[in-house]
Amino acid sequence: MTNRIYTRKFSTLTDFSDYYLLVSNEQVMAMVTERAIPLEEATATFEDILKQNEKHPDFGRFKIFDAATDQFIGLGKLELSETVATEAELGYLLLPEYWGRGLGTEIANHFMALAATTPFLTRVTAIIDPANLASRSILIRQGFISEFVGEIEGLPGEILAKKIIR
């Protein structure tokens, strides 16, 4: 948590409305899936998110709130890899009215601080659309290095990674 944001894990079906507010927004999803997510698909994905969030108390997908107003502003994630025990993936989505305010940096700082204090983590990855220069800039400032640029699941993608050094 910072002085401008705080997080709360997505934990119940009542959290779906906030999630859907993000993923059904074409602007938000333009550089993620290149389309808004329809209700049926979002519902199925959200059920998976709730199951994943039960697995570890400190990791998963989180609701991001404006600390001054308690308004929901986006989603942040630090999800443990299912295939590499020492790795996690960082991600974030913000509602368009909160873009350009430095909140993406605060979200990244928050989750990278968690990663740095987790003894078993040695690496954090992030996947972005290479055209998303704002997110790329945030990650580069965090010390992430580009490892791959190309097609990922049929969409343009870039994988960036950072080794956790203690």
Predicted confidence pLDDT, tens digits, the chain (166 residues): 568 999 999 999 999 999 999 999 999 999 999 999 999 999 999 999 999 999 999 999 999 999 999 999 999 999 999 999 999 999 999 999 999 999 999 999 999 999 999 999 999 999 999 999 999 999 999 999 999 999 999 999 999 999 998 7
For residue 89, what are the CA distances in angstroms to 21, 29, 85, 129, 159? Answer: 22, 18, 12, 15, 10
Whole-prediction pTM value?
0.94
In the chain, what are the domains? 5-163 (3.40.630.30)
Let me know the angle formed at the C-alpha of 117 by 69 and 103, rounded to the nearest 5 degrees: 30
H, E, C per residue of 133-149: HHHHHHHHHCCCEEEEE
Q: Phi and psi of 137, rounded to 5°?
A: -60, -45
